[in-house]
Amino acid sequence: MADINYLTAIRFEFGAVNGLADDLKALGVMRPLLVSDRGLEKVGLVDRVRDLLGPDVPVFLDVPSNPTEAAVKAAALAYRMADCDGIVAVGGGSPIDLAKGVALMATHDGQLADYAMILGGLSRITSRVAPVIAVPTTAGTGSEVGRAALITLDDGRKLGFISPHVIPKKAVCDPELTLALPPGLTAVTGIDALSHCVETFLSPRFNPPAEAIGLDGAGRIWRNIRRACQDGQDRDARAELMMGSLQGGLCFQKGLGAVHALSHALGGLKTHALHHGTLNALLLPGVIRFNAGHVGDKMERLKAAMGIAATDDLADAFAQLNRDLGVPAGLGALGVGRDVFDITIERALADHSHATNPRPASAEDYRRLLDEIL
């Protein structure tokens, strides 16, 4: 067992979920709202957590694959109607990010957009945010320790809601909950976590501690993702992936880059339901090539940390990983065409991750990157 305090309190061990009742008691939460999704309901995990919290715990399960403003409003209403005083979020990044949005809007006045980072919302988010306990069931987003929630507004913009007050008060990281994750989802969530570590490390902001965490996390994920996909019951590989994902969430306070600027924009399209991790996997090789020569010796340091030969091309290594793990070949395979490029580029240029790409990217640069993965 490991008790860690870095940004928030973290309990990391097999079986950690069984201590949820004690976690709520420690936070003084008497009536939590359980936020999860229909997929986890089908596999019995929602019932397992409900048994730990009590049979009368209110539950919200209508979480879209990309959290929306409409779902936040619906869940916030459920929170108020049940007179809740905290949230337990169980799932991947979608339920956890939605829970953060609910914790914000259940305690703050105004519209959700008022609190978006790029619209000046950082200073408007206060310590009144309701307490959240996050229980990740994938090793991907790192949202359980992240200070951001990504939510698609009613007008289609996918925006970041960022504040130290949004970080869950407790992260309960139980690798056992990932043992049944299928190989395809293990792959794209794992590459999502890898992209967090890589983009954080390459971000030009000065934060050596975050860079050190990102380097270590990238190495853990790279060494174990193929193992976890080949044998989902490999407990050591699952634990290493979850720790790498956690590290990605801890370090990306430093800023991300063009991978996420574009994937946020694509993920906000109302015409398509696109998985965030899949988008990051597709974008990562091209963005690495785009940034090469603009990050000093960081590409070499990444390869050393991941155990990739110094003579190998890092972008090619990421592209090969995608092929090995069966990631879709491109945006076309996901039903995306050039007709969405203009709105995607417009939103990517306005995204909060755009500013921290190590090489400034123009609209034409983004168009070329999208064309490469079509």
Res. 2: pLDDT tops 80 = no
CA distance 1 to 54: 25
Tens-digit pLDDT profile for residues 257-266 = 999 999 999 9
Q: How confident is the model at residue 4 (pLDDT cuts 50, 70, 90)?
A: low
The DSSP element (H or E) to which 366 belongs, if any, is: helix 363-372
The band of 6, judged by pLDDT with boundaries at 50, 70 and 90, is confident
Q: Is 332 helix (H, G, I), strand (E, B) or coil?
A: helix
Q: Check whether 74 has a pLDDT greater than 90.
A: yes
Provide the token pair at 115: 């609190």
What element of type H or E holds 60? strand 59-60
pLDDT of residue 158: 85
- The average pLDDT across 122-145 equals 96
The pLDDT value given to residue 164:
93
Computed from CA positions of residues 152, 354, 116, 133, in that sequence, does the dihedral angle turn out positive or negative?
Answer: positive
Q: What single string gives the DSSP state of each residue in 237-269?
A: HHHHHHHHHHHHHHHGGG---HHHHHHHHHHT-
pLDDT digits (tens, 9 = 90+) for 338-364: 999 999 999 999 999 999 999 999 999
**Beta partners for residue 86, in sequence order:** 32
pTM (predicted TM-score)? 0.93
pLDDT at 86: 98
Question: In this model, does residue 55 exceed pLDDT 70?
Answer: yes
Task: Map out the domains of the chain with their CATH numbers.
Answer: 2-177 (3.40.50.1970), 181-372 (1.20.1090.10)
- 363 or 141, which is more confident: 363
**Averaged pLDDT of the chain:** 95
Beta pairing partners, 60: 35
DSSP labels for 90-155? EESHHHHHHHHHHHHHTTS-S-GGGG-GGGT-GGG--TTSPPEEEEESSSS--GGG-SEEEEE-TT
Question: Two tokens at 49?
Answer: 């957590």
pLDDT, one tens digit per residue, over 304-345 is 999 999 999 999 999 999 999 999 999 999 999 999 999 999
Share of the chain above pLDDT 90, in %: 91
